[in-house]
Amino acid sequence: MARYNRWQNEHLYGAADGLSDAERRADRGSFFESIHATLSHILWADEIWMSRLADWEAPQGTSRETPLYNDWTALKARRASADQRFISWGDTLKQADIDGELEWYSGTLKRGMTSPRALCIMQVFNHQTHHRGQVHAMLTAAGVETDDTDLPFMPDAFL
């Protein structure tokens, strides 16, 4: 899933590159309003989850505030770096890293949480897919052609 994530992010960011900054930031009626804000939210959520699951630094604030990554070039670079970190992390996971419970504090719910680690790992990738679908729809509505998203069509270069 980390490799699929990288593949899809490269496609979506590449497609969004064809838009102006104003077009990427336009309110398109999505939960996070714009393409840029949604992509920033995905990265923010990846970083908050990975601060719980691995040794990543937790981002500040909440993803509903001004986009954490306001500069497009910086957002793209941070996304590419995070995708590589996901792959490296996934390649070294052992069963003991997946088993058991994860305890964390939810800033959204304002309380401590406990869930199976395996479920939390699945949440990271499910969350990415959910919001990338929103970005895909916003890009399509903006007239941008996007690539395939089906797992069986992932190029060998990404495996």
Give me the domains of the chain, ranges plus CATH numbers.
2-94+116-158 (1.20.120.450)
Core vs surface per residue 109-146: b (16+ CB within 10 A) or e: eeeeeeeebeebbeebbeebeebbebbbebbeebebeb
Question: Are 81 and 56 contacting, i.e. CB atoms less than 8 angstroms apart?
Answer: no
For the question of whether the overall pTM of this predicted structure is more than 0.75, the answer is yes
First-to-final CA distance of the chain:
10
User: Residue ranges of the alpha helices (H) in 65-154?
Assistant: 72-92, 95-98, 117-141
Q: What pLDDT is stored for residue 151 in this prediction?
A: 83
Confidence of residue 66 (pLDDT cuts 50, 70, 90): low
